[in-house]
């Protein structure tokens, strides 16, 4: 995979497969219930929430542009979320100046336990 990335003229990024898995889990979780996605990818919901699911720039954009607030139940049953109107005072409380996100970097061994052979 790294040879393909280098041939494409892109610098390979660290933890290639963990990053690919994290990105795909985040994409799937946007369309399907977390329970189903975790079952497909072979992890648990707590592991997915702690290590794989990401908040993307697209999530921020949708939240800033959406005039209604989406309310999700915490049990994540897969039902459609209900929408409620958000009462505003006419002034936008959203500040367009972006603050940098706190990024937690992972060491060279990654999240999974180290094994002697795979």
User: Which one has a higher pLDDT value, 96 or 5?
Assistant: 5
pLDDT for 31: 94
pLDDT digits (tens, 9 = 90+) for 71-118: 554 455 555 555 555 455 555 445 555 555 565 665 666 666 666 655
State the Cα–Cα distance between residues 46 and 50, nearest whole angstrom: 6
pLDDT for 78: 54
pLDDT for 73: 47
pLDDT digits (tens, 9 = 90+) for 24-45: 999 999 999 999 999 999 999 9
User: Which one has a higher pLDDT value, 114 or 61?
Assistant: 61
DSSP 37-66: HHHHHT--HHHIIIII----HHHHHHHHH-
pLDDT for 11: 87
pLDDT for 118: 53
Structure tokens at 18: 């963990």
Q: Are 71 and 84 in contact (CB under 8 A)?
A: yes
This model's pTM is above 0.75: no
Per-residue exposure over 75-103, b if at least 16 CB sit within 10 Å of its own CB, e if not = eeeeeeeeeeeeeeeeeeeeeeeeeeeee
């Amino acid at each position: 995979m790294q040879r393909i990335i280098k041939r494409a003229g892109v610098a390979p990024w660290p933890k290639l497969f963990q990053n690919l898995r994290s990105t795909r889990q985040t994409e799937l979780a946007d369309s399907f219930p977390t329970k189903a996605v975790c079952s497909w990818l072979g992890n648990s919901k707590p592991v997915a929430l702690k290590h794989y699911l990401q908040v993307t720039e697209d999530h921020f954009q949708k939240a800033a542009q959406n005039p209604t607030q989406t309310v999700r139940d915490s049990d994540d049953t897969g039902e459609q979320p209900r929408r409620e109107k958000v009462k505003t005072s006419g002034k936008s409380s959203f500040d367009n100046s972006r603050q940098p996100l706190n990024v937690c970097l992972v060491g060279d061994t990654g999240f999974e336990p180290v094994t002697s052979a795979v």
